[in-house]
Amino acid sequence: MSEPRIAVLGLGNLMRTDDAAGMLAVAALRAQKRLPAGVEVIEGGTLGLDLLHPLEGVTHLLAIDAVDAGVAPGTMLHFSNHEIANLPISKSVHLLGFADLLGAMRLTGGEPEHVVVLGVQPEVITWGTELTDKVAAAIPRLLGAAVEQVAGWLREIAIRKIRSHYAQQEKETRARFPLVTK
């Protein structure tokens, strides 16, 4: 397994009202310094496959985006690994580009082991630079969910490292002091 690398990716268009939610969320995470050192924050916008290089080597990818699931505006949504592959493309303006990006990463052997999409149901996606009130009200919950997701991954990584360390120590001890059996 490669050394764990966590990235938080904001998707969206700052000129398309609620579609800007993902970009504004990662900007807030960066400005408020809510993520631990070493966690990368990437403003992906609508770049699609252009994100292949910046995401190279990422093992844990959290994407934040406006996702149209046909639920009440401002509703938070959570998708992980296989759920992402099963989402209809129409759910996000960027999902096709994001799915293409994950597919390209898979083809090059660089697909992250863990992928989560945190979304918020948009109310309006038209030309404009302001979030609607319902989506703006959801941003603090979105930030909290992002911080919680990253913290969970960091706990899992720490536990894995501890277990690996003790397994290695046990292996070395058994090699130095083999059990004698008859």
Q: How far is CA 132 from CA 63, 76, 120, 136, in A?
A: 21, 15, 12, 6
* pLDDT tens for each residue of 128-178: 999 999 999 999 999 999 999 999 999 999 998 899 888 888 888 888 888
pLDDT at residue 35, rounded to an integer: 95
Range of the domain at 37: 6-176
Give dist(CA 92, CA 73) in Å, integer: 14
Q: Is 19 exposed, middle or buried (0-12, 13-18, 19+ CB in 10 A)?
A: buried
Residue 138 in any domain: the answer is yes
* Percentage of residues of the chain with pLDDT beyond 70: 90
Residues 6+ apart with CB under 8 A from 25: 10, 64, 139, 142, 143, 146
- Band the pLDDT of 87: cuts 50, 70, 90: low
CB of 95 closer than 8 Å to CB of 89: yes
* pLDDT tens for each residue of 15-49: 999 999 999 999 999 999 999 999 999 999 888 78
Q: What is the CATH number of the domain that holds 159?
A: 3.40.50.1450
Looking at the DSSP assignment, which residues form a beta bridge with residue 61? 7, 115
Q: What is the pTM of this model?
A: 0.87
CB of 79 closer than 8 Å to CB of 68: no
Residues 6+ apart with CB under 8 A from 68: 90, 91, 92, 121, 122, 125
CB of 112 closer than 8 Å to CB of 105: yes
Residue 81 in any domain: the answer is yes
- Band the pLDDT of 75: cuts 50, 70, 90: very high
Q: Is 23 exposed, middle or buried (0-12, 13-18, 19+ CB in 10 A)?
A: buried
Residue 181 in any domain: the answer is no
Residue 70 in any domain: the answer is yes
Residue 59 in any domain: the answer is yes
The mean pLDDT value for 71-78 works out to: 96
Residue 182 in any domain: the answer is no
Task: Count how many domains the chain has.
Answer: 1
Residue 1 in any domain: the answer is no
pLDDT at residue 48, rounded to an integer: 79
* pLDDT tens for each residue of 89-131: 545 555 557 778 888 898 988 899 999 999 999 999 999 999 9
Residue 84 in any domain: the answer is yes
CB count in 10 Å sphere of residue 144:
12
